[in-house]
Amino acid sequence: MISFSFSKFKIFKRKQLHVLSKNNPVLQIQPLQQKFRCTKDLFIYSKERCTRALKQEKPYEHVILADTKQNKVITEFIGNENQCKLDGIEKLNLDAKNTVLIHGHPCSTPISPTDINTLLNNKIFQVIAFNLNGEFSLVAKTNKVKNVKDAFYKFREEHYDLTEGMTNNNIYELYNYATDNLLKKHTPLMGLKYISNYDYLMKKKCK
């Protein structure tokens, strides 16, 4: 988790990704392609990059920051199976109304409290999480509301109380249900919109 169906498209040349090491679990990498003809192609590229990382022998988080107004990839990060820190994100010249953060969740969980914290505290308009099957879960900013921080803290505390120990014990089906319900309840209070097409009836296992 971050400490934050489309039509046919052009086939992108694949390159060997950097090898993750214990000493450097988070790396910023050069995008395979930076500029795109349209937003659809940008999202197709991002989805392919993020979901491919989930299908590796050792799945990891792949994060893409994209500008949907200019249809370009700003930068990409790769982390490990648990997280991907966005080192230096505060130094990037982000468009708060058009920057989208796209990433994959190795354990196929929906949007996390950490994802929402990243969204609320950076110049990012929307955060999208893909699971192993390419299904998405997203949160996006809407109108500003008062006491967003208080609303976030309440969500985070309730989420922790309700889901404590579930992921450690591989109870991902129940975790997904609980998280989905809490997101539906709390996101409007945080000035966010939540949408997901994750199949919560299927048990998602983390490799």
Q: Looking at residue 111, which CATH number applies to its domain?
A: 3.40.140
- Of 2, 200, 176, residue with least CA distance to 86: 2
Would you say residue 189 lies in a domain? Answer: no
Would you say residue 123 lies in a domain? Answer: yes
Would you say residue 38 lies in a domain? Answer: yes
Would you say residue 170 lies in a domain? Answer: no
Beta strands in the chain (DSSP E): 27-29, 62-67, 72-78, 99-104, 126-130, 136-141, 192-196
Would you say residue 1 lies in a domain? Answer: no
Entry pTM: 0.83
Would you say residue 138 lies in a domain? Answer: yes
The answer on pLDDT for 170 being more than 90 is: no
Per the structure, how many domains does the chain have?
Answer: 1
Would you say residue 13 lies in a domain? Answer: no
Would you say residue 153 lies in a domain? Answer: no
Segment 182-198, tens digit of pLDDT: 999 999 999 999 999 98
Segment 43-82, tens digit of pLDDT: 999 999 999 999 999 999 999 999 999 999 999 999 998 8
Q: Which domain holds residue 72?
A: 27-143
